[in-house]
């Protein structure tokens, strides 16, 4: 068992127009090209291409999702940076944080 894992992950979802999400979350699900990836605190570093789908994340007992058209994500043990080209209904997606 790995000790000293962070209790949460900083999730940032960034589009060319604005910062969509900036939250401390318990877990993240990303739509990878080969299926969904589940990300928990302490995840190994990885850089992935994203397909069209839903980014889902959990914080304080509620799950929130965001529809994306694709992009890239950098996953580190304590943060996930997601860069998307466009988001479905981006005008209706308020920045959180």
Domains and CATH numbers, the chain: 28-92 (2.60.15.10)
Q: What is the predicted pLDDT for the residue at 86?
A: 76
pLDDT in tens, 31-76: 999 999 999 999 999 999 999 999 999 988 899 999 999 999 999 9
Contact 31, 39 (CB under 8 A): no
Closest CA to 83 of 92, 74, 93, 96: 74
What percent of the chain has pLDDT above 90?
75
How many degrees, rounded to 5, is the angle at CA 13 between CA 69 and CA 35?
A: 50
Q: What is the predicted pLDDT for the residue at 87?
A: 75
Please check the confidence at residue 97 and state whether its pLDDT lies above 60.
no
């Amino acid at each position: 068992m790995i000790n000293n894992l962070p209790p949460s992950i900083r999730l940032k979802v960034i589009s060319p127009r604005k910062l969509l999400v900036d939250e401390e979350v318990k877990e993240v699900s990303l739509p990878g090209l080969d299926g969904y990836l589940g990300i928990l605190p302490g995840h190994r570093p990885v850089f992935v291409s994203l397909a069209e789908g839903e980014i889902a994340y959990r914080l304080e007992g509620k799950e929130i999702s965001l529809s994306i058209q694709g992009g890239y994500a950098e996953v580190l043990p304590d943060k996930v940076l997601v860069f998307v080209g466009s988001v479905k209904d981006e005008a209706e997606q308020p920045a959180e944080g």
